Chain A
Amino acid sequence: MSAGTGMVIIGAGECGARAALALREKGHDGTIDLIGDEPHLPYERPPLSKAVLADDAASATFITSAGDLAAAGITYRPGVVASAIERAQKTIRLCDGTGVAYDKLLLATGARPRQLMQDGAVVAGVRYLRNMADCLALRERVRPGTRLLVLGAGFLGLEVAATASARGASVSVIESQPRVLLRGVPEAIARVIENRHVQQGVDIRCGVKITRIETAPGAATVELEDGTRLTGDVIVASIGAVPNVELAQAAGLAVDNGILVDASLTTQDGDILAAGDCCAFPVASQNGRVMRLESWRNALDQSAVAAANMLGQSMAYDAVPWFWSDQYELTLQVAGLADPALAVVRRDLGEGAFLLFHLDAAGRLVAASGIGAGGAVARDIRLAQMLIARSACPDPAALARPDAQLKKMVA
């Protein structure tokens, strides 16, 4: 890329902020504009359901500082909404009418919580957790003795339940699916998580249908199909996220559950890329199936590939998906995308920690999930991720034996 070209990034979350820093680290010598709609410096989202929500004195983990942004020559525009992409002029229009010209544009617009609907309208008085303001407002309301209703037993809902419970709140989790973590987590591991919540005193109700939700300031009631009425002081919905695709869509870019990009994270406009939670991309380890992933690791890894490609490289994004969740003392990690239909090999590591390896019909490792206290499963999951990336066919008998080192299988 020639000197003096302009890079613009819309979205200053993990993906956008990291991409801005990576552009400079990779030697870009033109301008970099980082546009974010939140007022803060870029920060990490995962702690918002964990450490930041847990402790009134905790602050966010910032990705960078104002000084470092200035030193890197990155023009950070906080609290600014981009209102349009004028592709013909290669200009971004901001909410105040200002135009910012780009040579290459990265859309890292993220996702937003799916809102709870009833009778065709958004239910008022329901809280969500996505950004720092959400977290601080929720933290303020969740006190010892607070009755908290959590709708949805995915990663986010269960992390909120765990943290709120540790804060002394009385928590009920309501899930329409037959078990917690139905999407992406094998049942045996989901059971460990669910049991740990029950042990903590969290009221977990799966496979229930909500017939009515009533909210008033500081109060909520959820009525279930069997007539049960659950009342709370605070209600949080964690029922999924919706990608922020509207800017791309209005600019005529293809969208299908995410801004569509190729393996280089480029949209059909060669000067516009998209990365992180907002994009749908071909997942290399899933034979190129186009998917959208909501994960911190994906946002971070894609930021590096997007930055390289904005600078004229042609890197393909081929990372094996990796997720984690921390609840109480437990850490769950997943590498690859587990398909419940696949053969499973279990490896017990002691002290209740174990891993499940998923192998396809050809014996190829396609996913691994593990749970245990602290970092018990981390090393094996990381090595499994490497095996998946290599399309390895490890010996199932060896996978089952904790003394058979996965590291030797990677070599």
Chain B
Amino acid sequence: MAQWVAACTVDDIEAEDLIRFDHAGRVFAIYRSPEGDFYATDGICTHEHAFLADGLVMGDIIECPKHNGRFNYKTGAAKGAPVCVNLATYPVRLEGSAVLVDVG
């Protein structure tokens, strides 16, 4: 079931960047693409424990800060060694300037 929560406002994230969003004991990462669109994924790498919010966004890619594992944050797809497990993604919509994530 959909469970939309307000994660941040559009001004909280620069283009081609991300922030960490914690909700109900879970960690998410919220992205703003170079084109200005918003996306959300799990906030912890699937390889080893590392917060993706410390990583680098390059185009469609988030690179993990710990061992440089790469994911497409729009699809969650793991993009090669050392990561092999995809990242969960979550629907995002805007309400005014609020960025809402469906964490359900």
In the complex, what residues of B have CB within 8 A of residue A379's CB? 54-56, 65
Contact A378 B82 (CB under 8 A): no
Q: Please name all residues of chain B whose beta carbon is closer than 8 Å to the beta carbon of A407 when the two chains form the complex.
A: 16, 56
Let me know if B42 is at the binding interface, CB within 8 A.
no
Q: Check A382/B81 contact, CB under 8 A, given A375-B54, A375-B55.
A: no
Give the distance in Å from the alpha carbon of A63 to the alpha carbon of B68 in the complex.
15
Q: Which residues of B contact A376 (CB under 8 A)?
A: 54
Give chain A nearest CB distance to B34 CB in angstroms.
11
Looking at the complex, which one of B47, B50, B63 makes contact with A382 (CB distance below 8 Å)? Answer: B63
B66 at the interface (CB under 8 A from A): yes
**Pairwise interchain contact B55-A378, C-beta atoms closer than 8 A:** yes
B68 CB contacts on chain A under 8 angstroms: 297, 322, 382
A14 CA / B54 CA spacing, docked (Å): 25
- Inter-chain CA distance A344–B76, complex, in Å, is 39
Return the CB mask of B34-77 against A: 1 if under 8 Å, else 0.
00000000000001101101111000000101111000000000
Answer whether residue A104 sits at the interface, using C-beta atoms and an 8 A cutoff.
no
Q: Which residue of B lies closest to A296 (CB)?
A: B67
| Cβ-defined partner of A61 (8 Å) among B48, B51, B55, B63 | B48
Chain A residues touching B, majority SS: helix
Does A330 sit within 8 A of B, measured CB to CB? no
- Tell whether, in the assembled complex, residue A382 and residue B65 are in contact, meaning their CB atoms are under 8 Å apart: yes
Q: How many of chain B's residues have a CB under 8 angstroms from any CB in A?
A: 16
* B56 CB contacts on chain A under 8 angstroms: 378-379, 382-383, 407
Q: Which residues of B contact A22 (CB under 8 A)?
A: 81
Contact, CB under 8 Å: A375 / B82? no
Q: What count of chain A residues pass the 8 Å CB interface test? A: 24
Q: Indicate whether A18 reaches chain B with its CB closer than 8 angstroms.
A: yes
Most buried by B among A63, A322, A324, A375: A375
A300 and B81 contacting across the interface, CB-CB below 8 Å:
yes
Q: Indicate if the CB atoms of B65 and A375 lie closer than 8 Å.
A: yes
- Answer whether residue A44 sits at the interface, using C-beta atoms and an 8 A cutoff: yes
Is A207 in the interface zone, CB < 8 Å from B?
A: no
Set of chain A residues within 8 Å of B65, measured between Cβ atoms: 375, 378-379, 382
**Residue-by-residue, is A355-388 near B (CB-CB < 8 Å gives 1, otherwise 0)?**
0000000000000000000111011001100000
Residue from A300, A304, A375 in contact with B50 in the complex, judged by beta carbons closer than 8 Å: A375
How far is B80's CA from A18's CA once the two chains are assembled, in angstroms? 10
**B88: min CB distance to chain A, Å:** 20
A280-308 vs B, Cβ < 8 Å mask (1 yes, 0 no): 00000000000000001100100110000
How far does the alpha carbon of A45 sit from the alpha carbon of B27 in the complex, in Å? 27
Question: Do B66 and A375 have beta carbons less than 8 Å apart?
Answer: yes
Min CB distance, B60 to chain A, in Å? 16
Contact residues in B for A51 (Cβ distance below 8 Å): 48
Whether B54 lies near A44 (C-beta < 8 A) is no
Chain A residues near B82 (CB-CB < 8 A): 44, 63, 300
Residues of A with Cβ closer than 8 Å to B? Answer: 18, 21-22, 44, 47, 51, 61, 63, 296-297, 300, 303-304, 322, 324, 331, 374-376, 378-379, 382-383, 407
Q: Can you list 13 contacts pairing A with B, beta carbon distance less than 8 Å?
A: A296-B67, A297-B67, A303-B81, A324-B67, A331-B66, A374-B50, A375-B51, A375-B54, A375-B65, A375-B66, A378-B56, A378-B65, A379-B55
Known: A63-B82, A304-B81, A375-B53. 16 other contacts (CB 8 A): A21-B81, A44-B82, A61-B47, A296-B67, A303-B81, A331-B66, A374-B50, A375-B50, A375-B54, A375-B66, A378-B54, A379-B55, A379-B65, A382-B56, A382-B65, A407-B16
